Amino acid sequence: MTTIQTVSVGLAERSYDIRVGPGLIENAGGEIKPLIRGNKVFVVTDSTVSGYWLDPLTESLDAAGIEVTTIAVPPGESSKSYADFEYVCGRMLEDGVDRRTAVVALGGGVVGDLAGYCAASVMRGLDFIQIPTTLLAQVDSSVGGKTGINTPQGKNLVGAFHQPKLVLADTGALASLPKREMLAGYAEVVKYGLIRDPAFFEWLERHGADLIAGDEAARISAVVESCKAKATVVAADEREAGLRELLNFGHTFGHALEAAAGFDGTLLHGEAVSVGMVQALELSRRLGLCPGQDAERARAHLMAMGLKARVADISGAAGWSADALLTSMRRDKKARDGNIRFVLARGIGEAFTIDDVAPDAVRTMLEEDLLIAADV
């Protein structure tokens, strides 16, 4: 039997554990019961995940004496919206929420972000449990307390910091993921190697294919190492005043690409991050900050795994404009006084922030990317 591993996020009185391994959903009741103040939870999920994991979760919660009310939203990025935020909060208020009620997010990053923002808002803050069922959510979005929704102006621009009481990363749930979703999550795993841990990146070069193919030990190792990396950063900089900005490597470009694609499923978040990381490394190379071989090594690995690595790999990108992408990037949460703040790299494992990149250098690179897309 595989041993469940625990990673702790040290935030004083708001510290919590990330539990990693198979079978955690079926045993969630025993994990959650000691941490909540009442006996009622709202399980927020989507209509795809519910078909796989809602019944075993509900059975476990029922066995622990926890009353369950389920709220399901449509799958996909479009559910991170004002309308779905209003719907979920309204359901909670109609169905008897009180300040001892807890919210359980069962699903991927969209469900976790939406449910967490609702938990942060209803009654000015409810206890919150994350049960991420995608690789991306297990290694990134479920950890650290960022919650929120998208707006017509961009991604994650409305939300709150609201830490969970517990994260249950059931690696068995990854067996139900389509390969495209696994690869999207894998991009966030690669990010941890690229920003601070070249040895982890080397490990991924050797074992990444096994992880995607279903090797349980490789999956558990990748989730644990990713969570350790993020927990260390979050404990040092919970509100993203400095160090935590490094976790946005690839995201300044990536969020702009997502906004251009329209949050309609054409471009998954992890796919956008994959392209965005390659762009960040390429910009670093052009500025004389990063060796060309490091930028190429990262691009080659992402491509070898089957991820998108160029703007030209994105359907519909030929019709985009560099100025529109730059406008989205200026709305990025790291921007200061209208200046784009980038996370770049001096090499693999050497990410840093910079806010004095000439806009013309960025525009030129984007225009070249879009010209290539137009020729494909």
Select which of 251, 310, 333, 341 is catalytic. Answer: 251
Look up 251 and say whether it is catalytic.
yes
What's the farthest any 2 CA atoms get from each other in the chain?
Answer: 61
Look up 244 and say whether it is catalytic.
yes
Residues 6+ apart with CB under 8 A from 252: 276, 280, 329, 332, 334, 340, 341, 342, 343
Select which of 269, 299, 301, 333 is catalytic. Answer: 269
Look up 162 and say whether it is catalytic.
no
In DSSP terms, 102 is beta-bridged to 41, 127
Look up 286 and say whether it is catalytic.
no
Is 341 in contact with 355 (CB distance < 8 Å)?
yes
Look up 248 and say whether it is catalytic.
yes
Look up 124 and say whether it is catalytic.
yes
Select which of 13, 124, 206, 336 is catalytic. Answer: 124
Select which of 165, 230, 285, 308 is catalytic. Answer: 230
Select which of 80, 165, 196, 255 is catalytic. Answer: 255
Select which of 248, 299, 301, 308 is catalytic. Answer: 248
Select which of 181, 238, 240, 282 is catalytic. Answer: 240
Look up 240 and say whether it is catalytic.
yes
Is 361 in contact with 287 (CB distance < 8 Å)?
yes
Select which of 155, 162, 228, 244 is catalytic. Answer: 244
**Alpha helix ranges (H) inside the chain:** 28-32, 49-63, 82-94, 109-121, 135-136, 179-196, 198-213, 216-236, 251-261, 269-286, 292-305, 322-330, 359-375
Neighbour-count burial of 154, counting CB atoms closer than 10 A to its CB (0-12 exposed, 13-18 middle, 19+ buried): buried
CA torsion, ordered 287, 293, 299, 301, to nearest 10 deg: -150
Select which of 77, 181, 188, 238 is catalytic. Answer: 188
Among all residues, which ones are annotated catalytic? 124, 146, 188, 230, 240, 244, 248, 251, 255, 269
